[in-house]
Amino acid sequence: MKSLKQPIVYLCAILISLFAVSPFLWMILTSLKTQGDIYSSPLNYLPTKWNTGGYKAMLNVHADSNLNFMNWFWNTTIVSVLTTVFSMIISALGGYSMSRFRYRGRMTIGYLILLTQMLPGSLLIIPLYIIMKDYHLLNTHIGLVIAYATVAIPFCTWMLKGYFDSISLSIDEAAMMDGAGRWMTFLRIILPLTLPGLVVTAIFSFLTSWNEFLFAQTFLSDYDKWTLSVGISSFQGQYVVNWDYLMAGSVITTVPIVIAFWLLQKYLVSGMTAGAVK
């Protein structure tokens, strides 16, 4: 019975993996098809003629290309990195204070943070739009970073509080008995111990801004300031869809995320479970 059980488990794992990867494989194959292959009937699963025109257009290889894809790519990278750095600084300080200090309103703040996770982010669009208009932050990347941070910080703070709770308070006390101040204890001892949790939380913050569409479409109006999600959506017109451009852009957009997960995978499993156990 055991000899039969193991192959079944492997088979199920392979089937589930293929099911999970199939949309990405289809996206890659479609990005390499010609328009004729894409609209052919019956459907061609593999390209009959390999077409790299979409990738060349995205990367501005053509001299006559008027696409700003790489500009959108760098816009998205800058916004995502700034959002991650800003969110992690605020969230780490907030999560540590909620974990280590006892002050009036601490639990109320925690409940309010949980309450924000029950509401859709789209509810913030109108108030954020009014605030940004008053402070002249519309159509700026700084304004978009602030908008993304308002969504990321509550969740990241609560996540990091769980990671800090999993570290014994005696470690803080021992460090301070040896002469380390509160800041030194936090920066040199506690943060390194929570590195897996910090990585997972940073990835969430980064993905929040990298993949987001609604805020970017609402707050950015200039073509040159668009992010990837808004730029790629422009390939879908009212009557015509440039599927090769759309799929090529989607593949290039996905590659940095795949690389980041591959490089940081050793932190992911421990980081996703560390805050669940005290």
Span 245-264, pLDDT tens digits: 899 999 999 998 888 888 88
Q: CA quadruple 133, 134, 136, 141: dihedral positive or negative? A: negative
**pLDDT over threshold 60, residue 92:** yes
Amino acid at 271: G
Instruction: Provide the CATH topology of domain 69-274.
Output: MetI-like fold (1.10.3720)
Mean pLDDT of all residues in 148-162 = 92
Give the burial string for 180-218 (b: 16+ CB within 10 Å, else e).
beeeebbeebbbebbebbbbbbbbebbbbbbebeebbeb
pLDDT for the residue 65: 55
pLDDT for the residue 273: 54
Percent of the chain with pLDDT over 90: 42
pLDDT for the residue 179: 85
pLDDT for the residue 62: 54
Each domain of the chain, given as residue ranges in start order, spans 2-51, 69-274
Mean pLDDT of all residues in 121-143 = 93
CA distances from 242 to 24, 26, 30, 205 (A): 18, 16, 11, 31
Does the predicted TM-score (pTM) go above 0.75? yes
Question: pLDDT digits over 30-50, tens only?
Answer: 999 988 888 888 888 888 888
Question: pLDDT digits over 165-188, tens only?
Answer: 988 889 988 988 888 888 999 999
Higher-confidence position of 112 and 2: 112
